[in-house]
Each structure stands twice: as C-alpha cells, then as structure tokens.
Amino acid sequence: MKRNLNEHVLETLSKCNHLNHLKQLQGYLTTLGHAHTHFYAFKLLRFCALTLSNLSYAHLIFHHHPSPNTHLFTAIITAYAAHPANHPSVLILFRHMLRSQSTRPNQFIFPHALKACPDSCAVDSLHAQIVKSGFLHYPVVQTALVDSYSKVSGGLRNAKKVFDEMSERNVVSFTAMVSGFARVGDVESAVRVFDEMPERDVPSWNALIAGCTQNGAFSQGIELFRRMIWECNRPNGVTVVCALSACGHTGMLQLGRWIHGYVSKNGFVLDSFVSNALVDMYGKCGSLGNARKVFGMNPEKGLTSWNSMINCFALHGQSDSAIAVFEQMVGWGGGMRPDEITFIGLLNACTHGGLVEQGYRYFEMMGQEYGIEPRIEHYGCLIDLLGRAGRFDEALEVVNGMSMEPDEVVWGSLLNGCKVHGRSDLAEFAAKKLVEIDPHNGGYGIMLANVYGELGQWDEVRNLWRTLKQQKSYKIPGCSWIEVDDQVHQFYSLDKSNPKTEELYGVLESLFGFRNEVIVDL
DNA sequence: CTAGGGTTAG
C-alpha cells in the first residue's frame, strides 16, 4: 500500500501544472496524515520551486513543516540559491539549519551556501564550518570554496591557498582560479594558470578570453579565440559574445563578420546575448545597417538590446535615430523601463547632435519619470552637452549642484568645451582641478600647460614642464584603429613615423580648413 | 541534490 501511495503521489505530482493541483495533492496527503512525511514534503517543495517556480509557496511548505530534515533544508536552500536576490535568505536558512539539533549539513549544501556569501568574512566562517563537518576533502566543495573566495573582495589570496592545497585539481577548479585572477585584472596570472592546466574545455577557454576582453586586452582575447579554434575547441555562444566584444573595441569588422557567419552556419541559437553582441560589434565598427538588421531580428529584445542599439546611433552622432529607438523602447513597441545606461546613451546622442534642450529634458526625465538618481556618468554627459554648446554658466551651476565630487570626466568635459569656445579662463580652472585629482597623470599636466600657453603665461608653462619632467610623468599617446580593405590601421597621436604622414595631414587640412595636430597611421 | 564561462556605459 505504501508503495502504491508513493507511485500515486509522484504520478499526480508529475501531472501538476498549476498551484491549485499541488494544493489538492497536499490536501489529499493531509487527510491521510502524510502531510509532514519528509519524503512527500520534499517532493512537493522541489516541484513547487523548480517546476512551478513558485518560491513563496515553496517557502510556505518548508515553513509549515514542524521538523524539517536535511533534505528539506537542501531543497529550500537550492531554490533560493538560484536567484541572487534571495542569497541573504540562503545564509539565514543555513544558520537556522546549523542551530537545529536534528539537521546536519551535507556536502551538497555548502556550494549553495558559498555562492550566497557577500564578503570574505562569510566565506571564512563557512570555510571553518566545512572543516568542522569534515567535508573539506570533497573536490566539489573545495572548488566551490575557491570560486567563492575569488568572487568576494580581497579573497583571492585565500582562493589561491585553497586551490594550492587541493588534493585533486580538475578542469573546473583550474577554471575557477583563471577567472578569479581575471576578475581582479591580473590577466598575466590568469594566463599562467591557464597554461598550467592539464586539460582545457570550452568554459576554461571562455574564462580566459572573457578575462582578457573584460580587462581591455582585446587583441590578446582575439588571439586566444583564434588559438581556441586552431586547437579544435568549438566556441559556443559565450565565446562568441566575448570575441565580438573584442572585435567591436578594436574595429575588426572582418573578423566580426566571420563570427556572424560562423554563428549562422553552425546553428547557434541567436539568443539575446549573441544578438546584442553582434549589434554592438556592427555598431562600433560603423556598420549601422547591419546593427539595425540584427537588432530587428531579435525576437526577445531585452534592456541590453535596446541600450546597445541606442548606443550605436549615439556613437555615430545619429541622434534622431537614437531618440526614435528610445521612443519605441518605452512605447508600445518595447514596453521597457529604461535604466541608467539607456540615459547615458541618450545624453550622448543629444550631445553629438547638439540637442541641448532635448538632452536637458532627458536628464530631468530620468529622475522624475523613472526614479533613476543621476550618477557621475550622467553628470559627465550633461557637462559635455552644455560645454560643447558653450553654455558655461549652466554647466558650472550643474557642477556646483552635484551631490558627489566631480571626477576627471566632468572636469575633462568642461575643459574640452572651453577649448572649443576659447574660454581660457575657465579652462585654467578645469585643468587645475584635473591636475589636483590626478597629479601624476602627465596628460593633465600637458593640458594645463597648453592652457597657460593660450593665456600667454610662459613662465607657468616652463614651471609646469619642469615639474612634469622631474616627476617623470609622461602621457601615453592616444591611439585608435580602423579596418580598411582587410587591413587594420593603427593611429597614434602626434606620431609622424608613417610614410604617408604628409598625405594624411593634407587630407585633414582639406577637411578642416586648417592643420590639425592629429593622427598618423603606423 | 553540489563546483567553472557571457553583451551595453562618459
């Protein structure tokens, strides 16, 4: 009879597709006096959390149980661990579990609890708990510990320590270590760990490639991408997203197109991640038509999709298109709620299109209609907008009214506007602020020196240059790339080593009507 | 029942 009941319950459960069905089953079990039988409560809870995605009812089942056992704790903790927003609850439940006499943690709970740790103290205490419970020798638990340490701030040293002391390191633990180093920007160490790995799979390649692209090492990321294919590891969607990001940042349209082809030919699911990455790549490489095409074909446009499309148009000064996309995004077509990134794009679009009033309106709209507090980035955009338009009184008013300290971008934008409009007096003020914020940045020193030059204050110029030389602070030359006819051309500011220097400056002169101190191809 | 990888931003 017991066996029949089990089968009956499981079968009924598998046919549940609504919470009411589950409640009926629950009522049935209650009449039989089995509502709190651990096995059934566990099955109901898991079904509720995983299949019905109803966390609150799952919690109710757990909460109403008079004596939850380890299985029930595991089930509810697993359910909460799946959503970062519920991570605090995971730790509360875990502590609850430790306090109750009848339940001991098993090795399966620790990875979930570790995932929920917000800081290195929390990981430390779990680490101690793992040792105490005798689970430290499980490779999966060790790996979770490495990963968790490497994700909290200041935990990398401990991550490395646990990693070094592991008895059986495998491809997963190595990968956790690679992304740990990448997360703190230590690409070199990430590469070293990667090279030491006895075997590599797709996620390990992805960890390193992502590490490169997230730290600005785009060429290195692309090199690794090529090597990955060369060594017969098939890239997946994650790889492709990282590689496309690198293509966008370096202007490698050709490779970007090739990746697009690769994605289509190999039957990749064109999910939102891949689609957005393509939009961004095409946009950054100046292929706005393709960006728009890929965007249009994405059936489930998310916030990032809309933001990427807006940014594409903003980047190329097509403010009308950017605004049109925004209207569609918040209107009937999209029904989206914009975020702070949306407004950065919009403000940039207005800046590049000279739409000062419109930009101002969007800045106001951000807080009033969407409750988004302006961040320093938004102030940077606004100052840029006002500065380029020569509206310095308003710009200064904004700077003075800011709730936070203005940063380099704010002063830099103001300085830039001053240069365009010949306001050397204000320029001096802004440039001094820049030097104040970062005295060892040679670039700011040179900017200030140039302003003194404008003002004819040659003593100041000489003093500044002397200080700069003493400090050995030199400016890293500005640099950019463009791909023309399959060839990437790299340009450094003020470098005249290219044989076509004269020709290039000639073109610039015909474009601007004066000799501009820009670019040379290397 | 448990461990590693993802896009957009001045």
Encoding tokens for residue A394? 């308003």
Point out the nucleotide closest to A238 (alpha carbon to C1′).
Answer: B6
Chain B nucleotides reached by a protein CB under 7 Å: 1-10
Low-confidence ranges of chain A (pLDDT < 50): 513-514, 516-522
Please check whether strand B approaches the CB of A133 to within 7 Å. Answer: no
Q: Which of residues 478-507 of A touch strand B (CB under 7 A)?
A: none
CA A318 to chain centre: 25
The residue to which tokens 């790996």 are assigned: A143
Q: Decide: A218 and A246 in contact? Cβ < 8 Å.
A: yes
Q: Transcribe A367-385 into DSSP letters.
A: HHHH-PPPPHHHHHHHHHH
User: Which pLDDT value is given to residue A522?
Assistant: 35
* φ/ψ of residue A179, rounded to 5: -75, -25
Please check whether strand B approaches the CB of A171 to within 7 Å. Answer: yes
pLDDT in tens, A158-183: 999 999 999 899 999 999 999 999 99
Region of A406 please: left (phi>0), alpha (psi -120 to 50) or beta.
beta
CB count within 10 Å of CB A418 equals 24
Encoding tokens for residue A489? 């051309």
- How many angstroms is C1' of B9 away from CA of A167? 43
Q: Which of residues 341-360 of A touch strand B (CB under 7 A)?
A: 341, 344-345, 348, 351
DSSP A422: T
Closest CA to A428 of A405, A455, A409, A401: A455
User: Which pLDDT value is given to residue A485?
Assistant: 61
C-alpha radius of gyration, chain A, whole number: 29
Strand partners, A479: A492
All domains of chain A, ordered by start, with CATH? Answer: 301-373 (no CATH), 378-476 (1.25.40.10), 479-522 (no CATH)
CA distance A135 to A129: 9
- Write the burial class of residue A257 (CB in 10 Å: 0-12 exposed, 13-18 middle, 19+ buried): middle
- Write the burial class of residue A402 (CB in 10 Å: 0-12 exposed, 13-18 middle, 19+ buried): middle
Kindly list the distances between the CA atom of residue A454 and the CA atoms of A133, A359, A460, in Å, as whole numbers in the listed order: 71, 31, 11
User: Which pLDDT value is given to residue A365?
Assistant: 95
Encoding tokens for residue A122? 């929390």
Residues of chain A above pLDDT 90, percent: 65
Q: Which of residues 73-112 of A touch strand B (CB under 7 A)?
A: 74-75, 78, 106-108, 111-112
Point out the nucleotide closest to A310 (alpha carbon to C1′).
Answer: B8
Q: Decide: A253 and A287 in contact? Cβ < 8 Å.
A: yes
Point out the nucleotide closest to A305 (alpha carbon to C1′).
Answer: B8
CA distance A96 to A182: 35
CA distance A408 to A433: 8
CA A465 to chain centre: 39
